[in-house]
Structure 1
Amino acid sequence: MENAIEAEGLRRTYRSRTGWLRPRTTEVHAVRGVDLTVGRGELFGLLGPNGAGKTTTIKMLNTLLIPSAGRARICGFDVERQTREVRRRIGYVFGGDRGLYERLSALDNLRYFAELYGVPAREQKRRIAELLEQVRLNGREHERVEGYSRGMRQRLHIARGLLHAPEVIFLDEPSIGVDPVAARELRATVANLAATGTTVLLTTHYMAEADELCDRIAVIADGEIQALGTPAELRHRADGRRVLEIEAYGVPAAALEDLQNLPGVREAAVEERGQVQVLTVQSDADVDVQQDVLRRLDGVRLGRVTSREPTLEDAYVAIISATAKKEPVIV
């Protein structure tokens, strides 16, 4: 299968000078040598924690940043030397509310951007009508964007990015801050893009979204690809584990460190979910650590306690934790 995206040894380093009398140059290595190939028509996921290098990688691939080293090609065109050809073939959609004119209707927004993107006038009406139907905004296109929900705005963002019929579209956390119903509609829209032959590179923090949509996933951390494979292949990273989830209120850092040292425990992490903390403990499948964990949490107010099979999110946590410990990750 021919590749739509190719990256070889892609790096991005930021340099800054501090001090006046004794100036000092510091370097931040945001991306440290990314090798990546995405096939035409593939829906590819790029996952990683904040600051891992996801957005920097995307911006180098879509010509918004110049790589410090390495090479990248989109549909065979070099992102540095053939910028114009690359930009004709890509669309870029980012999460958030920026990039639309709120006092204009959706229709007027799309007309404006169609002119900017060089869509021929004779094709604009047909193309805009097709996209409004594709993102399920037909019937609402005459309303001002300022009255749209966040989910509707994100779908309009996607329509805007597709106006010039790009071969590759970059979706940078498109469902961020979107309610569950709107997120489901967005996932359906994204899945339809890949089904019609558009190559999609998706970044997201929602593991269930990546699991449902992506053909393959790369996990990036510390500026490097740490794991790459299908969702099923990545889940193997958590094979042989059991997951214990505990609702809690105020887990002290010392207790978390104590849990990580229990026999059989692989990982322990706390996530804030509204007013509740969710403590997730991954352990060897043949070791029942529940009693020991609850004993260590004596004095902490607890809620529901559940034991379950590992998910892609658990595998992701295992990969990121192994990276922090500088352990090799094999998928």
Structure 2
Amino acid sequence: MTIEIEDLSRTFAGQRGGAAVEALRGITLTIADGEIFGMLGPNGAGKTTLVRILSTLLTPTTGAARVAGMDVVHEANAVRRRIGVAFGGERGLYDRLSARDNLRFAGQLYGVHPRRLRTRIDELLETVGLADKAGVRVETFSRGMKQRLHIARALIHDPQILFLDEPSSGLDPVASRALRGLVAELRRQGRTILLTTHSMVEADELCDRVSVIVQGSVRRLGTPERLKSEVDLGRVLEVETYDDPTPAIRLIEQMPSVSTVDCIPGGEVERLVIRLAVGSDTTIADVLSRMPDHRFGRAFDRRPTLEDAYVSIIEADA
């Protein structure tokens, strides 16, 4: 296995004499060569803490972790040479330098040979779609362009293991799709990728397996399809309405077959997501009969998604 995690825990001292915080609680995982492994979970669940331990930026309180066969504590320098890390956000790049100069500086830090470095920079800028921006200052880049440059920076020394911590955070749909295409290409190159994300589309489309981490512990682990099948989910109905949905929500919630009703705001159109009990034969027509005075958009019946499974797991843990 490329990554082996055994009974890993991390506790942070409380601030100003407060209680200690258990960020990780006995996590055990293995990640195989060439796998895209996703970590899902709410903010504060421990995902970034785990990435920081695996990338040798933090030490565990108890337990052990090995990356490429090496202990992240006792062989930290050797681990760093074999991994690339890209944290989401604006930090880590030099805005007044060009894309090329940012990569040149990173390559020098990693000790990439100067002759190889010139070629490597050109390869990476082409891979991440920034070849035409090589000489442009990073301060002019969009957030999506910066995220792609972050990934190029993480790859400068050609590591086989890549940690991506919420790489699509804050990106618009077009930039997010481009980023997913880039990650898929990196996987085709044979790299092992650990991906933390809040995007269920990203996790469902890219990941071979995903884990759901809640309060520092793994609550679910498996392929996206397995998670969707294991969680006790009924069908899902969706209805778009142009009117205030509050009265309709009250009436729909009274239907015996309805488990939950969520309202997703969308400007002029509100989207009602209606989760049905397992085995329910309730139809769209049944739901619309509770909303006779509403103006509708689309209304449809669909299979549960990874997002539905994730929400169900989180709500069951609350």
Summarize the alignment of residues 293-304 of structure 1 with structure 2, pairs less than 5 Å apart: 304=298
2:87 to 77, 90, 94: 94
Greater mean deviation of Cα atoms: 178-187 or 103-112: 178-187
C-alpha distance in 2 between matches for 1:128 and 1:203: 26
Summarize the alignment of residues 118-137 of structure 1 with structure 2, pairs less than 5 Å apart: 118-137=111-130
1:40 and 2:33 are equivalent in the alignment: yes
C-alpha distance in 1 between matches for 2:86 and 2:147: 8
1:310 and 2:308 are equivalent in the alignment: no
Deviation at 1:269, TM superposition (A): 3.7
C-alpha distance in 1 between matches for 2:68 and 2:152: 21
**Structure with the larger strand share:** 1
Q: Which amino acid aligns with 1:33?
A: G
Q: Note the residue ranges of structure 2 that are not aligned, 5 or more in a row.
A: none
SS in 2 for 1:9: strand
Distance 1:241 1:95, change over 3 A: same
1:60 to 19, 30, 53: 53
Q: Which amino acid aligns with 1:210?
A: A
Summarize the alignment of residues 78-89 of structure 1 with structure 2, pairs less than 5 Å apart: 78-89=71-82
Distance 1:214 1:14, change over 3 A: same
Distance 1:66 1:279, change over 3 A: farther
TM-score, structure 1 as length reference: 0.85
Match of 2:315 in 1: 321
Deviation at 1:291, TM superposition (A): 7.7
Match of 1:171 in 2: 164
Match of 1:329 in 2: none
Q: Which amino acid aligns with 1:68?
A: T
Q: CA RMSD in A?
A: 2.7
Distance 1:269 1:161, change over 3 A: same
SS in 2 for 1:143: coil
1:223 and 2:216 are equivalent in the alignment: yes
SS in 2 for 1:103: coil
1:14 and 2:19 are equivalent in the alignment: no
Deviation at 1:287, TM superposition (A): 3.9
1:148 to 124, 135, 141: 141
1:110 and 2:103 are equivalent in the alignment: yes
Q: Note the residue ranges of structure 1 that are not aligned, 5 or more in a row.
A: 19-23, 325-331
Greater mean deviation of Cα atoms: 259-268 or 227-236: 259-268
Summarize the alignment of residues 232-251 of structure 1 with structure 2, pairs less than 5 Å apart: 232-238=225-231, 241-247=234-240
The question of whether the paired residues in 2 share the 8 Å contact of 1:265 and 1:289 is answered with: no
Deviation at 1:200, TM superposition (A): 0.3
State the Cα deviation string for residues 33-85 of structure 1 (Å, max 9, x = none). 11111011111111111121111111111111111111111011111111111
State the Cα deviation string for residues 236-257 of structure 1 (Å, max 9, x = none). 03565111224467777x9979
The question of whether the paired residues in 2 share the 8 Å contact of 1:238 and 1:314 is answered with: no
SS in 2 for 1:139: helix
Deviation at 1:297, TM superposition (A): 8.2
Figure out how many residues of one structure are paired with residues of the other and give that number: 316
Distance 1:44 1:246, change over 3 A: same
State the Cα deviation string for residues 125-169 of structure 1 (Å, max 9, x = none). 111111111112112211111222222111111100000111211
State the Cα deviation string for residues 189-230 of structure 1 (Å, max 9, x = none). 111111111110011111111111111111111211111111
Summarize the alignment of residues 185-264 of structure 1 with structure 2, pairs less than 5 Å apart: 185-238=178-231, 241-247=234-240, 263-264=256-257
2:63 to 67, 70, 81: 70
C-alpha distance in 1 between matches for 2:221 and 2:126: 34
Greater mean deviation of Cα atoms: 303-312 or 258-267: 258-267
